[in-house]
Amino acid sequence: MSKPAILCVDDESIILESLKAQLRKALGSSYIYELAQNAEEALEIIDELNEEDVSILLIVSDWLMPGMKGDEFLIRVHKKFPKVVKILLTGQADTAAIDRAYKEAQLHQYMSKPWSEDELIATVKSGLAKL
């Protein structure tokens, strides 16, 4: 059986690499770390992983991205995969979008940028503990 996956979605590659490095440092090689630069790419990755029977445990997503916003993306994911833990990481989401993500996507946590590594890891671990 393959390792489960954690997916990070942000339109800034430096943020994606930073998230991946911090998660790998804290969680080790127990997970596959996938990166996507927008919601459309993330949805394709989710479909590919699903076809390969790789379970996605957790998604960390930016809110303000070209195309689809993070709350809309997480709501779409939730409809197909309700058990996936969802974290919104952004410096620019409006409160209505955050509230919508909590209600319609069962958002685990909202975190603002810049984030602290300790807060990120604690949030991810508390999310994974729910599974």
Q: Exposed, middle or buried by CB within 10 Å (0-12, 13-18, 19+), for 10?
A: buried
Q: pLDDT tens, 42-72?
A: 999 999 999 999 999 999 999 999 999 999 9
Mean pLDDT for all residues in the chain: 96
Please, what CATH class does the domain formed by 5-113 belong to? alpha beta
State mean pLDDT over 91-114: 94
Side-chain-facing half-sphere of 105: CA atoms under 13 Å: 28
